[in-house]
Structure 1
Amino acid sequence: MDRKFVISIALLCWPLTVAMSHAAETVITEGQRIASSGAHGAAACISCHGAKGEGNAAAGFPYLAGQGSAYLLKQLNDIADGVRPSPVMQAIAKALTPDERQAVSVYFSALPHPFDAAALAADSDRPVTERGEWLASRGAWDKNIPACNQCHGPAGTGVGTTFPALAGQSKNYLIAQLRAWQTGKRSPLPLGLMPAVAYQLSAEDIEAVSSYYAGLPVSARAAVSGSQK
């Protein structure tokens, strides 16, 4: 291909690239404002989900940092529309405009995960012994339950913008979401898998797999913390 032609195309595309970059920065800035200050009288996201979107496990508030923007946006829309019941979140989600929900979703998705995903993925090669880890990494095919990691990634570190990370989420939060799918209180999400999977899980299974994912990042977080000192 002619070099001058390639250069001409690059020069023509450059203003568009700059404009797109500026637009993305504007969206993230708006999302950060909503996250830190709230909007239209709604509480700031960080008051429950942490200054860096790291969540509050003790209170059962999930972390949002690094989760896919499409996933976060769907949850806000579902909560606002009453598809996903949430007494705490519904008024907040409804107060935000569609553009504001998009902005805050993009902002949180751009933040780093509150754990070392590479360390967790490497650690996933250990022998599987406990029930929760077995369900996460192998599934239970006698119940037609696929491994959680098949959609949620190695050690539950998330996949793409749609399948959220599970590693390090509050145990109580994870239990509550699985029970919500069992009772039809959360939308099916991609491929409609979650209600079918959750329905097959026993109370013991839910306890085990939730405990497993909740406990995963402890060593990874310690490693990250140590490396930053």
Structure 2
Amino acid sequence: MSMLHIAVLACCALMAKSVFADTLDGGSIARQGNGHGVAPCMACHAADGGGQVAAGFPRLAGLPQAYLRKQLDDFAQGARVNATMQPVASGLSDAERDAVAAYYSKLPVPQAKPAATLSSDDAQLAQSLATRGRWPNGLPACEQCHGPGGVGVGDHFPPLAGQSAVYLGNQLHAWQQGARRNDPLQLMQTVANKLSDADIAAISAWYAAQPATLTKESQP
């Protein structure tokens, strides 16, 4: 067998391994853990990847693959702090993180449970913050980074639509308090510090009620 044939076979083997990791290992880890101490992802994020609203565990299904991978890396490296996620992320190999991120990015977005109804004043406040911001205070509109309706933009600005109000509110407070700081150029820390508790409650509930869709990055 020539060296060329060996090289081609090796390349094919690597490609097959990558496909296998994306399609099988990611789902297996999500359902069963990795067999080396990492618990199944579905224990917190539900079998469909939709998360757990009351507990504040976020939806993973349909989020961009690169965003999910970055969050796993950040948890593993301590750039993002969470007592539950840090041991999980650090217990996954690079290939397993890739596989899990790929798996969840391709899952269909689950049908969201009915969100709490906002008062007309809160809905008006939230829509104003989402679409116009509050420029006298230097606060940009949420959709300038996260897209119209909070559908998400690129790898660093994830979808907000369809995430639970509990999770969104927790993250805004975490950025506000400096407990979360893995955002690009500290954009979210700056934004969060310009929001009141009433702002956070309104905008979190408003985005939780918006219809969630797969991002372009996650579409097959």
Question: Where in structure 1 are there 5+ consecutive unaligned residues?
Answer: 1-14, 117-127, 221-229
Q: Which residue of the other structure, out of 103, 114, 131, is the alignment partner of 2:99?
A: 103
**TM-score under structure 2 length normalisation:** 0.79
Q: Which residue of the other structure, out of 32, 37, 40, is the alignment partner of 2:27?
A: 32
Distance 1:51 1:57 in 2: 14
Distance 1:44 1:130, change over 3 A: same
Mapping 1:111-126, distance limit 5 Å: 111-114=107-110
Counterpart for residue 90 of structure 1:
86
SS at match of 1:56: coil
Superimposed CA distance per residue, residues 147-196 of structure 1 (whole angstroms, 9 cap, x where no aligned partner): 11121122111123332111111111111101111122223423431111
Matched, 1:203 2:197: yes
Contact 2:134-2:140 at 8 Å conserved across structures: yes
1:20 Cα offset (Å): 8.4
Matched, 1:167 2:161: yes
Paired residue type of 1:43: A
Paired residue type of 2:73: N
Distance 2:14 2:94 in 1: 20
Distance 1:113 1:58, change over 3 A: same
Mapping 1:126-205, distance limit 5 Å: 130-205=124-199
Distance 2:154 2:111 in 1: 17
The structure with the greater share of residues assigned to helix is 1
Distance 1:171 1:51 in 2: 20
Distance 1:132 1:43 in 2: 37
1:67 Cα offset (Å): 0.7
Identity of aligned residues (%): 48
Superimposed CA distance per residue, residues 28-85 of structure 1 (whole angstroms, 9 cap, x where no aligned partner): 1221111111121211001111112111112211000111112111211221222222
SS at match of 2:63: coil
Distance 1:183 1:50, change over 3 A: same
1:19 Cα offset (Å): 7.6
Q: Which residue of the other structure, out of 34, 44, 47, is the alignment partner of 2:43?
A: 47
Paired residue type of 1:181: W
Mapping 1:10-89, distance limit 5 Å: 22=16, 24-28=18-22, 29-39=24-34, 40-89=36-85
1:209 Cα offset (Å): 0.6
Distance 1:77 1:105, change over 3 A: same
**TM-score under structure 1 length normalisation:** 0.76
Contact 2:26-2:100 at 8 Å conserved across structures: yes
Count of aligned pairs between the two proteins? 194
Bigger relative contact order, structure 1 or 2 (CA pairs below 8 A, ≥6 apart): 2
Distance 1:43 1:160, change over 3 A: same
SS at match of 1:59: coil
Superimposed CA distance per residue, residues 127-159 of structure 1 (whole angstroms, 9 cap, x where no aligned partner): x96111111111111121111112112211112
